């Protein structure tokens, strides 16, 4: 039996077969996504990505109900809070992916495959971060304050740093990989490696994957401490992370071209990170119920999205005016974007 308990959250006992069932279930979902839903290199339609996104969200919500049925309402509340935190931060991750894929001019038909391997590796990275973070907190309670201070710092950084100005080509990991791994500038379908004149060489997709994984590590540094603010149970934290991450590829194809419309996204994420950071810092003196945390995070995201819709960026308004005055140009632009 694997037991987990912490002072401020749910104490649950997860049998070994519970972990096996979770990991096998995640593996089956990944295989279905890779070998059934996206076996061929095609450009997904809006309808398909919408249905897939709804399906992944449904799976995440459904697993929370299983947690509630097996472990109780406290554990399911922590699961849903962690899921919502990860999903909220993932929206920002999606826009960084879009920037990376645009920079390397990855054909849209090949993007799902490289993002699949990115998500697959991200699950392993999150598992390492989660188990390591829980182990550290259980041994060194004072590290909780470092995590809280880091989240507050990250919230402030979100308010002053524009991620759209990042340069994916300047990644140190990318330079090292290109230096030591033989490569070709030509794509070979969805393959990460190909053969050129009898030599095995990396395609551009491999180096795109390298940059995506570096970005995933940076996001894990933010999101894992944030989720540890609402739960310190390894099963709950990992499951909430995993189900939130699984739907990222569909979310990417839905939102990749809408970055400018989420005008207040970074401010909303900053508020969420600041909230969970402060919650960590005051946890020894003030206990914030998980229900309040869940409601606060949900309210911040609803307000952020609503404000962005009601008050679009000036460029969005200009585009809207241009659409009204020159409908032919608008249709042309829309067609180009969708392809």
**The model's pTM:** 0.76
Task: Provide the pLDDT confidence category of residue 315 given band limits of 50, 70 and 90.
Answer: low
Q: 257 or 14: which carries more pLDDT confidence?
A: 14
191, pLDDT greater than 70: yes
pLDDT at 23: 93
pLDDT at position 61, please? 94
Query: CB of 67 within 8 A of CB of 227?
Result: no
Alpha-carbon distance of 56 to 53, in angstroms, equals 5
pLDDT of residue 172: 78
Is the pLDDT at 9 greater than 60? The verdict is no
Whether 269 shows a pLDDT value over 90: the answer reads no
Q: How far apart are CA 137 and CA 148, in angstroms?
A: 12
Residue 78 or residue 288, greater confidence: 78
The reported pLDDT for the residue numbered 192 is: 85
The overall average pLDDT reported for the chain is 79
In this predicted model, which residue has the larger pLDDT, 209 or 34? 209
Nearest one of 220, 259, 19 to 121, comparing CA atoms: 220
Q: Which of 20-24, 195-199, 211-215, 225-229 has the highest mean pLDDT?
A: 20-24
| Among 1-15, 44-58, 201-215, 226-240, the least confident range | 1-15
Q: For residue 242, what pLDDT is reported?
A: 92
Q: What is the C-alpha separation between 221 and 250, in angstroms, rounded?
A: 23
Averaged pLDDT for residues 1-8: 41
Give yes or no for residue 87 having a pLDDT over 50: yes
Q: Which of 7-21, 58-72, 110-124, 229-243 comes out lowest in average pLDDT? A: 7-21
Predicted local distance difference test score (pLDDT) of residue 57: 92
């Amino acid at each position: 039996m694997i037991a987990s308990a912490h002072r401020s959250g749910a104490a649950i006992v997860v049998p070994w077969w519970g972990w096996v069932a979770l990991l096998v279930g995640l593996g089956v979902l990944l295989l279905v996504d890779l070998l059934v839903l996206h076996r061929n290199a095609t450009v997904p339609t809006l309808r398909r990505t919408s249905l897939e996104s709804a399906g992944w969200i449904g799976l995440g919500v459904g697993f929370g109900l299983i947690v509630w049925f097996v472990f109780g309402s406290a554990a399911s509340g922590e699961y849903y809070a962690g899921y919502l935190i990860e999903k909220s931060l993932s929206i920002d991750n999606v826009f960084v992916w879009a920037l990376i894929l645009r920079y390397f001019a990855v054909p849209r038909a090949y993007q799902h495959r490289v993002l699949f391997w990115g998500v697959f590796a991200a699950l392993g990275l999150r598992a390492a971060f989660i188990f390591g973070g829980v182990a550290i907190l259980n041994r060194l309670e004072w590290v909780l304050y470092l995590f809280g201070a880091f989240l507050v710092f990250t919230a402030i950084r979100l308010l002053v740093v524009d991620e759209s100005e990042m340069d994916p080509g300047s990644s140190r990991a990318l330079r090292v990989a290109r230096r030591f791994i033989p490569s070709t500038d030509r794509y070979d379908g969805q393959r990460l490696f190909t053969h050129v004149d009898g030599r095995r060489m990396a395609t551009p997709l491999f180096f795109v994957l390298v940059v995506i994984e570096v970005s995933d590590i940076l996001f894990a540094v933010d999101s894992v401490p944030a989720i540890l603010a609402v739960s310190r149970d390894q099963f709950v934290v990992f499951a909430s992370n995993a189900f939130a991450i699984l739907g990222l590829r569909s979310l990417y194809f839905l939102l990749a071209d809408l970055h400018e419309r989420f005008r207040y996204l970074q401010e909303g994420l900053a508020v969420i990170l600041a909230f969970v950071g402060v919650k960590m810092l005051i946890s020894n003196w003030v206990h914030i119920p998980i229900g309040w945390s869940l409601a606060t995070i949900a309210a911040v995201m609803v307000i952020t999205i609503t404000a962005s819709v009601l008050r679009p960026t000036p460029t969005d308004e200009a585009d809207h005016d241009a659409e009204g005055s020159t409908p032919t140009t608008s249709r042309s632009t829309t067609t180009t974007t969708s392809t």
